[in-house]
Structure 1
Amino acid sequence: MNKRLLRRTVLAAAISTASSGSMAAGFYLQETSASGLGRAFAAENTIGDNAAILARNPAGSALFDSYTISGGVTYVNPEIDAEGDVTYITPLGNTTFSSSDDDYATSAWVPNAYLAAPINDSWSYGLAMYTDYGLETDFSNNFLVSSIANKTELLTVNVAPSIAYDFNDQFSIGLAANFLYADATLKTTIPNDFPLDSALGTDLAGSTILNLEGDDWDVSWTLGALWNISERTRFGISYHAELDPELEGDVNSDLLPSAVVPTLPPFDDAKGKLTLDLPDTLELGFHHRFNENWGLALGAMWTDWDDFERLEANIPSARLGVNPEPFNPLHIKEENFESGWRYSIGGEYYPCEEVTWRIGYAYDEGAARDGLNPTDETANALGLPITWRTLSIPDTDRQWITFGGTYEFNNQLSVDGGFAYLWGDDETIQEFTDIPVPTYFDGGTTNIEAWLASVSLNYEF
């Protein structure tokens, strides 16, 4: 491979593969409470059996007559496997290898904490600390398409103070400010066992294509309402406005931008910026207690992923003085996510005053769009079909089955527990990149599932 072609393909690969990790920032996390997990988060913005309702509906603080705190943690253990054929397209001909990676979605602990407090008979306030979005995928460095997908990590923390007003114990409204902190890492590399170094006369194995690390704070708002239709029936509605943190941090590479302009050194802690368009959500909840022993919860949540259209980054230090300027902005990828709904139903059984049992089911529509991506001109010219769905975001429709319960030690202290199993169908994934040579992955996921376990404590003063 001549140097001119190598420079061009390195730049193309950086543009096309950086999006894989950034797309992972779109994953919405439901895990805001242990009690909610037990009923598949059905009517989580409505029931208010503890202060965790504040993560979903700021009007929830109006349900409490005394200071109430809740805190807990959810352990998420996902397992995602992928395999397929990797084809390298070179002037010497096409070479195909089989490659796979198992359990590349990393386990995580998701904490939460809440405070609900009355001010007087009408006014109350709350404070919620939880996470909205998060994901980590970490592929093996020997995975033959690590230039497409290697390491992606997003951590967010949302701090939400809120205020609520209660109209005659029948209707309440609430408003919260959301202070979101986001920290992200995206890394793509050439495989450690790059099989074509000898044939092409290169020494690219293990090289970092792009390593982005950045963080930022952003501010948004939530508006919610609760309607106590009767003593046994309640309806809730809440809207979370969108967020768009502009991640600022460091960019490092063994290949860029020197692969484009040889007189420039590779990125070494260069400053970069990337804006994430995180979606707004609308949640509806309905809860009815039939009698002293049984209750029903219904929920629906709409997530506006349509705003997540593309990713663009800026690296001001890499101004090359050419038109078009390849790094300002650096067009990463057309994402073309689609909005979707999550539907959930939960049942509750109250055998005695101290114990509550829960069971739930949910159907969660994925954000990754089905079908083929027509925007990759190089892949189209080679006659290679490319899917919107990627290895780093093997998103699919998911189903949840959940179980949980609460035990009240006394009128002040209680403990919640919840368990869940979720799974999705295997999906076809086809991706293309130009580094170190045109590389095509044709395969998909062979397993998508996760186990969740959660526990929390609640105390009323």
Structure 2
Amino acid sequence: MPTRTATLPALTLIALCCQQAHAGGIMLYEIATDNVGLANAGAAARAQGPSTIASNPAGMSYLPGTQITAGLQMLYGDIKFNRDDDTNVSGSGSGNALDPMAGGSFFISHELDDHWSVGFGQYGDFGLAVNYDNDWAGRYFSQNSSLLGLSLVPSVAYRFNEQWSVGVGVKAMYGMLQAQTAIDRSPFGLTDRADGQFKYKDKDWGFGANVGVIYAPQPGTRIGLAYTSKVDLKFEDGLDIKGNGPLLNRLDGAKTRLDMTVPQTVTLSLYQQLDKQWALLASVNWQDWSQFGDIGVQVDTSANDARSTNIDAGFKDTWHLSLGGQYQATRQLLWNFGVAYDSSAVSDSKRSVIVPMAESWRIATGATYALDKDTDVNLSWAMIWMGDMEVDQNKSLSGNRISGQFDSAWIQAVTGNMTWRF
């Protein structure tokens, strides 16, 4: 049986310690840390807690003693598809494709001496989940799918002097993938046979690195540059086909390989202390989504044929710009706020119900309160606005077409975390 190469449909992260949210593609800034309230502004330069392991491991060199941050996060939103008259498949509306979901993260750092620091992070900053109603009009393109990318990152940092610090982390990403899509067993309405369905499920490990440097030209000013390498995930399983018939039986069990490249990224950030109360933060980020590949495998049918083919993502690289501030309102209370823009990884002509993404805007805020000199608690909130997203997809054999748009799509994140210093 033929081997197919593809990648899983993409929208948002779901489950375990991973989060759901949109970045330029499906890389996430919301990982249950205080960074949520800043919209990622200054992420590679702040060095204000052990969660810097995720954004720039060099930041550990600024953390005295042993510090631990643990966070929980709830995400919810509204991503609904409204079909138009060009849709030629019967079925219900999509329902809200984004289910509310909780997640979390954990970080620890330890200062060995005046130069060396070590740490460990567990978080999810890559992934997706889409969950449509099973009988909706776009069921032949996607019903539900999920991808988890849980990262385990042991890290080390070295501080040369008051100006320069470097850090590196080895990233082990555990990828978990599953997908489910309906199959049209009555193309063009020639018969009254019920829909078939195919399922796919597999797991894999991928490995990469986080590397960063921080330069502090003067007290109160930090410039951070961070790089995360690509991570290759390779999934392989047989298509699990439901639906009798000689055409579909040929595809049942067909070994299907899905190759995915988690993109490399580069982030440049600034942290500038303006006075005893105010600080300015900014970030510029690039993500290499053009190397992602295909977004999925689909089964298409006609009266005398059935095929499994790849769906080309047509992704392009994305850019992120963010600006934020911090205000030390009292000795105990620190207020964070930020705004960010992410370009879209997919053009309007390539957008699909499999990957309902677009450019996005973020507004965010949060507050950190010092319970005592060794314990902080943070609450943060972010709104990600994607707006209207038009879609027009069709299949060549069956002629199935889904056309319409996602109206006023948005996601919100509410995060709580605590930091302990020893």
- Normalised-by-shorter TM-score class: 0.7 to 0.9
Report SS of the residue matched to 2:258: strand
The verdict on how the C-alpha distance between 1:230 and 1:102 changes in structure 2, with shifts beyond 3 A counting, is same
Q: Which residue of 2 aligns with 1:316?
A: none
Name 1:278's counterpart in structure 2: 262
- Do residues 229 (structure 1) and 217 (structure 2) align? yes
Structure-2-length-normalised TM-score: 0.88
Matched, 1:253 2:252: no
CA contact (8 A) 2:28 2:125 kept: yes
- In the TM superposition, residue 439 of structure 1 has moved relative to its aligned partner by 0.9
Q: Which residue of 2 aligns with 1:130?
A: 123
Q: Distance in 1 between matches of 2:353 and 2:214?
A: 41
Match of 1:156 among 149, 156, 169: 149
What is the Cα deviation at residue 120 of structure 1? Answer: 1.3
Out of 236, 240, 252, the position equivalent to 1:266 is 252
- Encode CA deviations 1:253-277: one digit per residue, 9 max, x unaligned: 12599416x6x5833xx65431111
CA distance in 1, matches of 2:145, 2:93: 18
Give the Cα–Cα distance (whole angstroms) in 2 for the partners of residues 420 and 342 of structure 1.
Answer: 16
Residue 323 of structure 2 is aligned to residue 345 of structure 1 = yes
Q: Which residue of 1 aligns with 2:400?
A: 439
CA–CA distance in structure 2, aligned partners of residues 249 and 415 of structure 1: 44
2:285 is paired with a residue whose SS is: strand
Equivalence map 1:31-430=2 (5 Å) = 31-85=30-84, 100-190=93-183, 200-205=190-195, 207-208=196-197, 210-255=198-243, 258-259=246-247, 264=250, 266-267=252-253, 272-310=256-294, 331-370=309-348, 387-430=349-392
Structure 2 unaligned residues grouped into runs of 5+: 14-24, 298-305
After superposition, the CA RMSD in angstroms is 2.8
Please name the residue that 1:379 is paired with. none
After superposition, what is the alpha-carbon deviation per residue over 1:426-454, rounded to whole angstroms, capped at 9, x for unaligned? 1210001257x311122111121011100
User: Identity over the aligned pairs, expressed in percent?
Assistant: 22
Describe the SS at the equivalent of 1:73.
strand
Q: Distance in 2 between matches of 1:165 and 1:335?
A: 40
**Aligned partners of 1:241 and 1:287: how far apart in 2?**
24
Q: What is the rounded CA distance, in whole Å, between the counterparts of 1:110 and 1:81 in structure 2? A: 23
Q: Which residue in 1 is equivalent to 2:413?
A: 452
Q: Distance in 1 between the 2:243 and 2:126 partners?
A: 31
More strand by share: 2
Q: Deviations over 1:186-223 (max 9, x none)?
A: 111148xx9x6995223133x21x21111100111111
> Is the CA contact 1:84–1:444 (under 8 Å) kept in the aligned structure 2?
yes
Q: Deviations over 1:110-138 (max 9, x none)?
A: 31111111111111111111112122111
Aligned equivalents of 2:188, 2:111: Cα separation in 1: 71
State how far apart, in whole Å, the 1-side matches of 2:117 and 2:203 are: 33
Q: CA separation in 2, counterparts of 1:241 and 1:82? A: 35
Distance 1:304 1:332 in 2: 21
What is the aligned length?
402
**TM superposition shift of 1:228:** 1.4
**Bigger Cα Rg:** 1
Q: For residues 182 and 366 of structure 1, what CA distance do their matches in structure 2 show?
A: 24
User: What letter is aligned with 1:298?
Assistant: A
Is the 8 Å Cα contact of residues 89 and 400 (structure 2) preserved in structure 1?
no
Offset of residue 33 of structure 1: 4.0
The CA deviation string for residues 140-165 of structure 1, in whole angstroms up to 9 with x for no partner, is 11212201121011111000111111
Give the AA of the match of 1:236: G
| 1:379-438 residue CA offsets vs partner (Å, 9 max, x unmatched) | xxxxxxxx3100121111111111101001111111011011121121210001257x31
TM-score, length basis structure 1: 0.81
- Matched to 1:152, the amino acid is S
Q: Which has the higher helix share?
A: 1
Once the two structures are TM-superposed, the CA of residue 183 in structure 1 deviates from its matched residue by 0.5
Q: In the alignment, is the contact (CA less than 8 A) between 2:10 and 2:26 conserved in 1?
A: no
Query: Does the C-alpha gap of structure 1 residues 44 and 184 become closer, same or farther in structure 2, counting only changes over 3 Å?
Result: same
